Amino acid sequence: MTYPGPRRAWRDVRSLLDNLNITGFGSGLTPFQLANHLVALKIVDPPSVIDVADWIHKHPKLGAFRGLEDLGFSVSKKNLMSVRGAFTCIYRFFDEHLTERDKSLLFFGSIFTEHVLCKIPRWKTRLADEDAKGRLQELAAKEIEKNYLWTPGGNIFCNKAFPVPLIIPPAWLKQTIGLVSVSTSPMDRDPRLL
């Protein structure tokens, strides 16, 4: 059954959960995940790209921030715009390259993107702990050396195909980072990111 009443904004619900000071909740991952579950239940509107980027910036010790660093982004806990720019790049990269079928299966959105980023440090550590020959960068480099040609939807027909390209072109990065406004005023933000 779906909640039929008016929905609150994710950021407002997350803020409420933080301000309730519930023992054991803290202000980090637990209220974040609860707000995300309320989105899944369609009680709360999904967060924007900016909402999630701002949350990542406030929690630099958690996985998503480290995931951005592991992907090579120069993010800083002192620079909100660095996190907004990096997160926007990853979100838009998925948005532009995943097929509609993939997006539907993955429940693609800003919550999904944050979740993927959280897994990067974990897998990086796991592969290193196993002394794996195929660390993430090495696996990608091997595919690139083989002149791997990405095709949209190729992963639907071949389980060895990647759902997104392995390389983000520098010009694309520059254009995407340009979409993130320098201002922190909600009125000045690019509407495609809200």
Sign of the torsion formed by the C-alpha atoms of 130, 132, 136 and 137: positive
Task: Pick the more confident residue, 173 or 83.
Answer: 83
Going by their DSSP bridges, the two strands 8-9 and 44-45 should be labelled as parallel
The rounded Cα 169 to chain-centroid distance in angstroms is: 18
For 169-187, what is each residue's pLDDT tens digit? Answer: 888 888 888 777 544 444 4
Sign of the torsion formed by the C-alpha atoms of 60, 62, 68 and 71: positive
Are the beta carbons of 67 and 76 closer than 8 angstroms? no
For 48-80, what is each residue's pLDDT tens digit? Answer: 999 999 999 999 999 999 999 988 899 999 999
Residue carrying the six token digits 């990067």 = 120
Helices (H) and strands (E) in the chain, counts: 10, 2
Cα–Cα distance for residue pair 64/113, rounded to 1 Å = 9
